[in-house]
Amino acid sequence: MSTPKILILGGGYGGLMTAVRLQKQLNHNEAEVTLVNKHDYHYFTTWLHEPAAGTKDPEKCRVDIESILDTNKIKFVKGTVSEIKREQKTAVLDSGEQLAYDYLVIGLGSEPETFGIQGLKEHAYSIRSINSVREIREHIEYCFAKFKNERRPELLTFIVGGAGFTGIEFVGELSDRVPELCAEFDIEPSNVKIYNIEAAPTVLPGFDPDLVNYAMDVLGRKGVTFKISTPIKECTPEGVVLADGEEIKSSTVVWTGGVRGNSIIENAGFETMRGRVKVDPYLHAPGHDDVFIVGDGALIINEEINRPYPPTAQIAIQQGENLGDNLVALVRGGSELKPFVPSLKGTVASLGKNEAIGLVGDKKIYGSTAALMKKIIDNRSLFLLGGLPLVMKKVKL
Ligand code: FAD
Ligand code: NAD
């Protein structure tokens, strides 16, 4: 048999971890491994709320993929995947190039879920890539600059739609950034309004109520106004319309109302729920022994509560580790694959500088302890992906 071709689509947490695991174990010429990614860098999606608000330089939230890969073992292709042709066993890039595979790993991450809400796609920003967060940061600065001359209140009214973890982490950063911007542009802080609008009866639905109250208290003191049980019904060039009919004028709407799997998966004909494929225990797309899905495109069920696990980097990284090992076994002719079993360490969410909340095991943590834990978690992900050299380059102190 000729050397098997492993094609990995997407260099995020799941795809890159799969590649790293393969390069550690495969000998030369055991497999032809190719990683394709839209950019020549990997970005730390879990940090993106910071550059979006402007509290961190976007440059610090990314790393060149070739500095992590051993390019003697893994070929890197910078390209945007436009289509997967299952019958022909190829992926097509927008350049027209076609890449063939024996084993395909799909790690293309997620897209914003807009639930068909009118105007969101056209008028709202979302936190999803280095380029998208640069745009948000620059737009916020532009609004401050423009307010100086025009004094229109909507320029300094910021709406964040959805108070899940992304929304909460972003308003935490934004409320830290506001005093800096007010000082820079000589603007009285009382002109600035930050609304975090949530459809469910509570922020962070499903999370521990004590931690939710702590988060609301900290963020409230930093100037965030929460509107709960208030779905956004429409987004317009002027702001948002809520389900109760209220209109809030705003020049900046950031949509953090949820995610769905990358549409390339759905367009390839896989059966999906919110763009995610319910994978088998070995991360196969059902009925396809040659196609694996990692990260936000893979739906796995938490049997204890019979509900899907939320899509997280924690799970994406663990899936990459598991799949890397299984692919090594496959190319060596093994038939015994290890099932993927998530090992959840907990959830910690930042609320801005030196403030966070978290559940680690069943222990609740708050404030500076939780903020320190968040840095440890972020640095640990760096270590898993790129070892000590990546930690040294990008460490969060
Ligand atoms: P990603 O890491 O998003 O990577 C997808 C990759 O695919 C990217 O490199 C992208 O450029 C590439 N790509 C996309 N489309 C194409 C294409 N057409 N062609 C080529 N390449 C393409 N999870 C946690 O566990 N802990 C946290 O603290 C946490 N914090 C978060 C904070 C924020 C602000 C956000 C937005 C999410 C956070 N998450 C967190 C969730 C976590 O980031 C995702 O679950 C995780 O990134 C999913 O990993 P992935 O490999 O599926 O996709
Ligand atoms: P999410 O789905 O977790 O939260 C979206 C929120 O938006 C929900 O609370 C939902 O009720 C609300 N919403 C939906 N429609 C709405 C509407 N019309 N109007 C107002 N609110 C509306 O999405 P997310 O926060 O982007 O998180 C995505 C994934 O990333 C999750 O799995 C999350 O756990 C993970 N994440 C984890 C962390 C962390 O661990 N620190 C941080 C960020 C994201």
Q: How do the domains of the chain map onto residue ranges?
A: 5-38+79-112+259-344, 114-257+345-397
> Per-residue pLDDT averaged across 80-99, rounded?
98
As for ligand 1, residues whose beta carbon falls within 6 Å of it are 10-15, 36-39, 42, 45-46, 48-49, 80-81, 107-109, 127, 166, 169, 262, 264, 295-296, 311-314, 316
Output the pLDDT for position 335: 79
Contact 84, 290 (CB under 8 A): no
Alpha helices per DSSP H over 106-129? 120-123
Output the pLDDT for position 11: 98
Output the pLDDT for position 343: 95
- Assess whether 87 carries a catalytic annotation: no
What CATH number should be reported for the domain whose range is 5-38+79-112+259-344?
3.50.50.100
Which contiguous run of DSSP H or E holds residue 144?
A: helix 130-150
Which contiguous run of DSSP H or E holds residue 18?
A: helix 13-25
Output the pLDDT for position 1: 60
Which is the catalytic residue, given 32, 50, 113, 169?
169
Question: Which residues lie closer than 8 Å to 162 by C-beta, 6 or more apart?
Answer: 197, 198, 199, 255, 256, 257, 258
Q: Starting from the CA of residue 116, give the closest ligand.
A: 2
Distance between Cα 102 and ligand 2 center (Å): 36
Query: Which stretches does DSSP call E strand in 168-283?
Result: 193-197, 224-227, 232-236, 239-242, 247-249, 252-255, 259-261, 277-278
* pLDDT value at 45 more than 90: yes
Pocket test for ligand 2, best of 211, 312, 347, 381 (most atoms within 8 A of CB): 312
> Per-residue pLDDT averaged across 216-235, rounded?
98
Distance between Cα 206 and ligand 2 center (Å): 11
> Per-residue pLDDT averaged across 321-325, rounded?
98
pLDDT tens for 249-288 read: 999 999 999 999 999 999 999 999 999 999 999 999 999 9
Q: How far apart are CA 175 and CA 47, in angstroms?
A: 16
Q: Is CATH 3.90.960.10 the classification given to domain 114-257+345-397?
A: no
Confidence band, pLDDT 50/70/90 cuts, at residue 334: confident
> Per-residue pLDDT averaged across 28-50, rounded?
97
